[in-house]
Amino acid sequence: MNKFNADVTGPDGKQYEIFFTRNIEIEEILYDCSKIRIIVYEGKFPWVKTVSVNKYKVHLKDGWQQFNTPVRGGFVSETEKTAYLHKNLPIEEKLAIAFHELIHILEQHPEGLNIETERITTEAAIALIAKNQEYLDSKNINTAKIITSLQRRGTFVSKISGEMTLNINHT
Ligand SMILES: [Zn+2]
């Protein structure tokens, strides 16, 4: 299935219908770097808004909050080996989220379980990116930007902790 509509519960608790499409390019990059094949979909997440470069507003249960990384810009089905990404982001932000979700799938833990798991996941993602620097350079991908995005994310996890409960119902 390369495209579908799904009902998704956002971090603000509201239901959204989101149109997802496969992102094969990101799937191939993740595979080349890890030799693990996962499925990557992207769609517009209405709870993430870009304010300016590296400034994002995210709608959480207690309202809109500003971050300098698109937190809640991705979620994962670790059982279906599938990552879901917010579409409207620079490639480096998408890859930061995608590598983070890949580690959740590899380690078989859900997104947003607790702060310690998130920290370990982000560190493992950074290590995997560093290991593949040469390959990513050859694809003209700015690894420094991806790593900066992941490091920033770590500092915000405490503000948004709590389990991510996004339920996908294919429609
Ligand atoms: Zn996570």
| Percent of the residues in the chain that have a pLDDT greater than 70, as a whole number | 89
| Residue that wins the pLDDT comparison between 171 and 61 | 61
Q: Tell me the pLDDT tens digit for each residue of 71-80.
A: 889 988 888 8
Domain assignment of residue 120, yes or no:
yes
Q: How many Å lie between the centroid of ligand 1 and the Cα of residue 111?
A: 4
Domain assignment of residue 171, yes or no:
no
Domain of residue 143 covers 3-159
Q: Tell me the pLDDT tens digit for each residue of 132-165.
A: 999 999 999 999 999 999 988 766 655 555 445 5
* Per-residue pLDDT band at 105 (split at 50, 70, 90): very high
Q: How many Å lie between the centroid of ligand 1 and the Cα of residue 106?
A: 12
Q: How many Å lie between the centroid of ligand 1 and the Cα of residue 95?
A: 13
Q: Is the pLDDT assigned to residue 167 strictly greater than 80?
A: no
Q: How many Å lie between the centroid of ligand 1 and the Cα of residue 149?
A: 13
DSSP bridge partners of 66:
57
Domain assignment of residue 164, yes or no:
no
Domain assignment of residue 167, yes or no:
no
On whether the CB atoms of residues 37 and 44 are closer than 8 A, the answer is no
Q: Where are the beta strands (DSSP E) in 68-161?
A: 74-77, 82-86
Q: How many Å lie between the centroid of ligand 1 and the Cα of residue 101?
A: 6
Q: How many Å lie between the centroid of ligand 1 and the Cα of residue 79?
A: 15
On whether the CB atoms of residues 38 and 82 are closer than 8 A, the answer is yes
Q: Which of 104, 94, 101, 100 is nearest to 44 (CA)?
A: 94
Domain assignment of residue 83, yes or no:
yes
Q: How many Å lie between the centroid of ligand 1 and the Cα of residue 65?
A: 18
Domain assignment of residue 122, yes or no:
yes
Domain assignment of residue 165, yes or no:
no
Q: How many Å lie between the centroid of ligand 1 and the Cα of residue 100?
A: 6
Domain assignment of residue 169, yes or no:
no
Give the pLDDT confidence score for residue 163 in this predicted structure.
47
Q: How many Å lie between the centroid of ligand 1 and the Cα of residue 71?
A: 9
In the DSSP assignment, the letter for residue 7 is: E
Q: How many Å lie between the centroid of ligand 1 and the Cα of residue 134?
A: 25
Looking at the structure of the chain, the number of domains it has is 1
Cα separation of 98 and 104, whole Å? 10
